[in-house]
Amino acid sequence: MTIHPPERIWWKPISGAERVYIAAALLFSLITFFLMPIWHFLGAQNPTMQTYRVDKAEYLQRVMAWADRYKVGELAGVPVVEPPPGGEVYLLARTFQWFPVLKLRAGQTYRVHVSSSDLVHGFSLQPLNMNFMVVPGYEYILYVTPTQKGEFGILCNEFCGLGHHLMVGKLIVD
């Protein structure tokens, strides 16, 4: 017996089971792809926000000035700030702290500014599980209306160093 040479034209129409497999894989890929933008709206976990480029030092100064202006107390050395309803809210992420502690009113819409003055951090509002990245040099602005009263934790969910696990802030809604 001799070894047959390979067929010159090996391209053949897809047959039966392979068609079903490809169709199923394609359908699964499309579903999981479009679930990303759909869940953005239905899941209410990763909010739509405006993004602007900022200077890190300038943002830090702006947060400090705003916190000084609306400070109403202190919690474990961190200022508690209560801005006027419907106003600007500033949140600063830095190693290893969320600054300041925010005190907001339920039912009021605030314009929340979030940025970092040093590294990439992850904003995670618990237990609501709202999450997004906080990148230095970029200011994120989102419109937030607290609907539940209580105390909420702000965790850092992007590893930022040795104190990452201690980076816990607080949001108070009354």
Partner 1 sequence: MTPTPVPDRTDRVPFGQTLLDDFFLLLALGLLIPFLSYLVWGLLDLGSVPVLPPVDQLVAGG
Residues that bind partner 1 (CB under 8 A): 1-2, 4-5, 7-11, 49-54, 88, 111, 138-139, 141, 143
Q: Of 78 and 133, which CB lies nearer to partner 1 in the complex structure?
A: 133
The CB-of-145 to partner 1 minimum distance in angstroms stands at 12
48-71 as b/e: b if 16+ CB within 10 A: eeeeeebebeebbebbeebbeebe
- Nearer to partner 1 by Cβ, of 14 and 23: the residue is 14
Q: Which is nearer to partner 1, 88 or 118 (CB)?
A: 88
In the block, tokens 């106003």 appear at 87
Nearer to partner 1, 51 or 129 (CB): 51
- Nearest distance in Å: CB 162, partner 1: 29
Least gap, CB of 153 to partner 1 (angstroms) = 28
Give the span between the Cα atoms of 37 and 24, in whole angstroms.
21
Say if CB 99 and CB 121 are below 8 A apart: no
Pick between residue 47 and residue 153 the one whose CB is nearest to partner 1: 47
Cβ proximity of 86 and 155 under 8 Å: no
Residue with tokens 């926000």: 49
Least CB distance from residue 36 to partner 1, whole Å? 15
157, two tokens: 């969910």
Distance from C-alpha of 30 to C-alpha of 22, rounded to nearest angstrom: 12
Least CB distance to partner 1 at residue 139 (A): 6
Instruction: Name 5's bridge partners.
Output: none
